[in-house]
Structure formats: structure tokens, C-alpha cells
Chains A and B, each alone.
Chain A
Amino acid sequence: MAKTGLHDDCALIGMAESDVGIVPDKTPRELCVQVTLDAVRDAGLTLEDVDGLITCNAFAEPIMYHAEAVAEYLGWQPKHCVTVNTGGGTTFMAIKMAAAAIAAGMAHTIVIAMADSLRSHMTREQAMVVQSSSGHPHYEQPYGPTVPAYYALLARAHMDRFGTTEEHFAYAAVSCRAWASQHPKAQKRDPISVEDVMGSRPIADPLKVLDCSLVSDGGAAVVITRGDRVSGSKQKPIYLLGYGEGHAYEHISQASDLTTSAAVMSGQAAYADSGLTPNDMDLLQLYDCFTPALLIQVEDLGFCAKGEGGDWLASGISQPGGHKPLNTHGGMLSYCHPGNPGAMFGLTEAMLQLRGQAGARQLSGINTALCHAQGGIMSSHATLILGNEDPS
């Protein structure tokens, strides 16, 4: 059946990740170049077969014309070349923009590549300041909020409104770590308990350091191609079944609702686009920059009723062996979080799982995955639904 979206007729056919975690020997640009080449090779192609490049900028090495600089480094003159930046949601918006560019005839095969080195090529203070600079320069930043503080404001409001507890948030960190312990590349692999999270160093009450995502280096890339070029792919193609966005505000002090996010809008749009429901999702790859963000997404994307995200996480349903596996690479809480590229690893993991290449943590009988990312402070959202069966 023909679908109405712009993405109906293309598929993800290649992917690559760099080393992740602490990778001091490469600059962000070098990581971006590496994953571009590796993703194209994974697809069984060469750069001559690819005519588009989409990247996002790097905090640790900002470049005015980033995508062009990456192409130049490779001695490559792609037909379509653009840098995008919508915070953490960049990844999935870039996938949609690539699909739209393909539908518009701007390119037939596009690499989307992102990398940054917040860990090794910035000081801790630089990394904190550059990230908190998302706050309003006149009406937020002068008061000294940190990014954890912004999310702590959401956490406190959720606790007050729904009776959510600090332990509920801790279960999100425990779940992601349980998955990461099965991933040989994860930056943090030692299993943790709720007590470990509760006893970890306070950062911005009620958040402790184990409620916060990692600061990492790393990059990842994917290759998307037009439908008529999918057959004969080297790898099992992964299809874009649905997409949605939601944009509620930019600055947290302008949010009309602190406990329900525009993930509701983006999720509903993606479900409508795909004709699928939350029950149909075999794998959830959500944006776990901080544990409360993960809890709120679980609710807003319809995996439990509003206010019950804490009980959902505490039930173990998202952990290895549970029937709603969540962030099977370990998420940004335990796998890696190099900044804007953070959600790329949610996408590459979903592709590995849908291809059946996830090694020891491979899920059985998986056909669909929901990938979600948000930018700002739960401000702008993008949801991508993927499948490993041709929908046409």
C-alpha cells in the first residue's frame, strides 16, 4: 500500500560507529570522516555511489561549513551537502531530511555522519558551559543553571505531581547499565543497583551523577538510499515506517507543562504515519540524557499511562529478559554520549538489532523499533519508527 510520507520509498542500508567513550587520538572531524567511510563500506558501496552528505557540527571543533569540510577532507564533491543542528533531535530530523531530499531528487544515496569529542577535546568546565549555553542568555543563564539542573526541575515537578520517587528515576539508570554490561564497547559496563544510583554524588537535587549521561567521544554514520537502489543491498535493508516531530518551546522556563512533553505530538505523528501502535514496537531506543527524560518519554510515547513511568521502569520490563527492551546498547547513560551525535547510537543499535547483528544482546523475533530523540530541555522531539520488512 502506498504511504503518504516522503520517506516511503527509501531504506537504511549501511551504518558504522567509531570507537566510543574515551578516544583522545582522533579529532571530531577525523572521527566523522572515519565513520563516513566505514558506513559506506558497510553498505557495500564506495563514495562514488553516494551523492549526498549530511553532518552536524561538533562543539569540540566547530567548523563553519561542517559537511563541506568533511567532504573536502575526503576529496569528495557530493551533489547534496548540508550541516544540520537541532540539538539531540538532530539525528532523526537529519534522517527525515535525507529521505525528503531523496524524494525531491536532490540525491539518491546520502550518508548522515556525526561525531564529537566532548570528553577528550574539551575541559569538563568547557563542556558544561557550552551545553548549559542552551539556556536563555538573559533570563536563565545569569542564575547559573546547569543542564542537569534543567532536568532536575522536570524531575521535581514530576515527583510533586505524580508521586514519582528518586528510586523510580534510578531504575532507568539501572536498566541501561544492565544492557551496557552485555555490550563489549560500552563506556560503562559494571552493573549498578538502585542503591548505587541513590548513593552516588549529588549533582542537582534530585539528580545524582548516575542519573546523568556520560561525557564521551565518538561518532556514527548511516547510509540511506532510494527504494529502487535497495534491492541487492549487501546488508538487510532497514525501512523507515513512520516519522513525527513535536516542538513545544525552547527554554524550560517557557514550558507550559513541565511533566508532559511534545514527545506526545511526535509519537502520535509517527504512529499515525506508520499505522502502528506502541504495542507493535519490539525495541525502544529513547533519549536518556538524564533519567527523568527517559521516564517522561516512556509515558509520553504511550508505553504506559501518564504518571506511571516510574512503576513501568521499576517493573523490570525494559531490562534484559523484559518484553519492552529499552536502549539495548546501554543508552547515553552507559554506552556513550558525545553530545549532538548521542542519538546516532540509538539508531545504529536499532539497525544492528533489526539486522540480527547485535551479538550477545541480540533480541529474538524483532521486526520493529522506535527511536526517539529530543533537543533543548525536552523541548523539540523527533520519533522514527523502523522495520526490517519491506512495507511496500
Chain B
Amino acid sequence: MSRPIPRPSPTEQPFYEACARGELKLQYCKPCTRFLFYPRTHCDRCHSPQLDWEQVSGKGTIASYTVVRRAVSEAFTAPYIIALIDLAEGPRMMSQVINAEPDALAVGHTVSVDFAAWSDEIKLPVFRLQGVPSEAGPSHHADSEGKT
């Protein structure tokens, strides 16, 4: 059993093409002046079909997280961290937080995007811990978690 690999539809293709280049792009709805995610044919608020792909900062905060101790299948090696990330531009996405100690995680911590190869063709956004929220003290530097 292998990891599930997205098979992008034409609508989704720009998202995955950007990921392959190391860019996070989201759809932007001009009438609503807001970004949305996941990719759609229509804005999920005003239902306009006119959505523009724009690059976003890749910064976000952890809305919630869990350390998976029992993997979903043999294709995954536990433990790994699943998180809901609130992107700075608004939308929320599920992802993995990589290269982080579980004890270093908390709701509200800031993260930044990276990209990881899931197959020869598909790269997916993942996130690295950036630091603690500003009200909780000075933030750590992005690379302080170290590489593993």
C-alpha cells in the first residue's frame, strides 16, 4: 500500500504546478476580496467562477495538531504530525508539520511552508515550525529546529 497521491483535475493543476516550483498559490476571489482553499471552479461564498491564482506568503499558524502514533497504513511511519494550518491570507489547510519535536508544538505557533516530494510528479506543501506566537515571547528562528 502506497501513500495516496493526488491526481489533479484541470481546475487544480495550477496549485500542483506551483507546488512543484516551490510556490504556494491559492485562488483569489476579487468580488469577495478573499483567498479560498481547496481549489474550486466557483468561489464558495459568492459562487463567481472568476478566480485568480496568486502566490501567498506560506506563513501560517497552527489551529490544531495531533501526533499520529498509529499510522494509517504501512505507507506511513509513525510518529508524524498532522496539523490544521491557518494561512496568513485566511484559508485553512491540513498538512504535516515536519522536523518538529511534538513537545515543541502548540496551537497558535507560527509555521512556514516547505514542499516535499510525494511522487515523481507531485510535491505537496508541508510546514516547519517557525516559533512561538509573538504575545508569548520572542520567536525562534526558522531553522532552529535543525535538519534531520
Seen from chain A, the residues whose Cβ lies within 8 Å of a Cβ on chain B are 125, 128-129, 132, 136-146, 148-149, 152-157, 160, 201-207, 252-254, 258
Q: SS class of chain B's interface: helix, strand, loop or mixed?
A: loop
Q: Do residues B38 and A138 form an inter-chain contact, with CB atoms below 8 A? A: yes
Question: Contacts A129-B72, A137-B4, A138-B8 known; A204 to B67 CB distance under 8 Å?
Answer: yes
Q: Do residues B107 and A142 form an inter-chain contact, with CB atoms below 8 A? A: no
Q: Do residues B64 and A156 form an inter-chain contact, with CB atoms below 8 A? A: yes
* Complex A-B: 19 CB contacts under 8 Å: A138-B6, A139-B37, A143-B94, A146-B70, A149-B66, A149-B68, A153-B64, A153-B84, A157-B64, A202-B69, A202-B70, A203-B69, A204-B68, A204-B70, A205-B66, A205-B69, A206-B66, A254-B92, A258-B63
With A132-B72, A144-B96 already in contact, 13 other A-B pairs whose C-beta atoms are closer than 8 Å: A125-B1, A128-B72, A136-B94, A142-B3, A142-B4, A144-B76, A144-B80, A144-B82, A153-B83, A160-B106, A205-B69, A253-B93, A254-B92
Could you say which residues of chain A place their CB within 8 Å of the CB of B63? 157, 258
Question: Contacts A129-B1, A153-B66, A203-B70 known; A140 to B12 CB distance under 8 Å?
Answer: no
The reply on B49 being an interface residue by CB < 8 A is no
Q: Give per-residue flags for B31-53: 1 if the beta carbon is below 8 A from chain A beta carbons, else 0.
A: 00000011000000000000000
The reply on B71 being an interface residue by CB < 8 A is yes
> Nearest Cβ distance between residue A43 and chain B, in whole angstroms?
42
CA of A207 to CA of B67, assembled, Å: 10
CA of A153 to CA of B83, assembled, Å: 7
CA of A125 to CA of B73, assembled, Å: 6
The reply on B74 being an interface residue by CB < 8 A is yes
Interfacial residues of chain B within 1-29, with CB under 8 A of chain A in the complex: 1, 3-8, 12
The reply on B104 being an interface residue by CB < 8 A is no
Could you say which residues of chain A place their CB within 8 Å of the CB of B82? 143-145, 149, 153, 204
Could you say which residues of chain A place their CB within 8 Å of the CB of B70? 146, 148, 202-204
Q: Do residues B38 and A156 form an inter-chain contact, with CB atoms below 8 A? A: no
CA of A252 to CA of B12, assembled, Å: 20
CA of A148 to CA of B70, assembled, Å: 9
Q: Do residues B94 and A144 form an inter-chain contact, with CB atoms below 8 A? A: no
> Nearest Cβ distance between residue A392 and chain B, in whole angstroms?
43
Could you say which residues of chain A place their CB within 8 Å of the CB of B73? 125, 128-129, 144
Could you say which residues of chain A place their CB within 8 Å of the CB of B5? 142
Could you say which residues of chain B place their CB within 8 Å of the CB of A129? 1, 72-73
Q: Do residues B64 and A205 form an inter-chain contact, with CB atoms below 8 A? A: no
> Nearest Cβ distance between residue A116 and chain B, in whole angstroms?
20
Question: Contacts A128-B72, A129-B73 known; A142 to B118 CB distance under 8 Å?
Answer: yes
**Listed residue (B12, B69, B76) with the most chain A CB atoms within 10 angstroms of its CB:** B69
Q: Do residues B66 and A156 form an inter-chain contact, with CB atoms below 8 A? A: yes
Q: Do residues B95 and A160 form an inter-chain contact, with CB atoms below 8 A? A: no
> Nearest Cβ distance between residue B92 and chain A, in whole angstroms?
6
Give 5 closest A-B pairs by Cβ, nearest first.
Answer: A152-B66, A160-B107, A144-B76, A253-B94, A138-B6
> Nearest Cβ distance between residue B45 and chain A, in whole angstroms?
12
CA of A139 to CA of B38, assembled, Å: 7
Could you say which residues of chain B place their CB within 8 Å of the CB of A142? 3-6, 118, 124
Question: Contacts A129-B72, A142-B3, A144-B72 known; A156 to B124 CB distance under 8 Å?
Answer: no
Q: Do residues B64 and A154 form an inter-chain contact, with CB atoms below 8 A? A: yes
Nearest opposing residue in chain B for A203, CB measure: B70
> Nearest Cβ distance between residue A139 and chain B, in whole angstroms?
5
Q: Do residues B84 and A252 form an inter-chain contact, with CB atoms below 8 A? A: yes
> Nearest Cβ distance between residue A298 and chain B, in whole angstroms?
20
The reply on B136 being an interface residue by CB < 8 A is no
Partner of B72 from A146, A205, A254 at Cβ < 8 Å: A146
Could you say which residues of chain B place their CB within 8 Å of the CB of A141? 4
CA of A153 to CA of B93, assembled, Å: 13
Question: Contacts A143-B94, A144-B75 known; A156 to B6 CB distance under 8 Å?
Answer: no
Interfacial residues of chain B within 63-117, with CB under 8 A of chain A in the complex: 63-76, 80, 82-84, 92-96, 102, 106-108
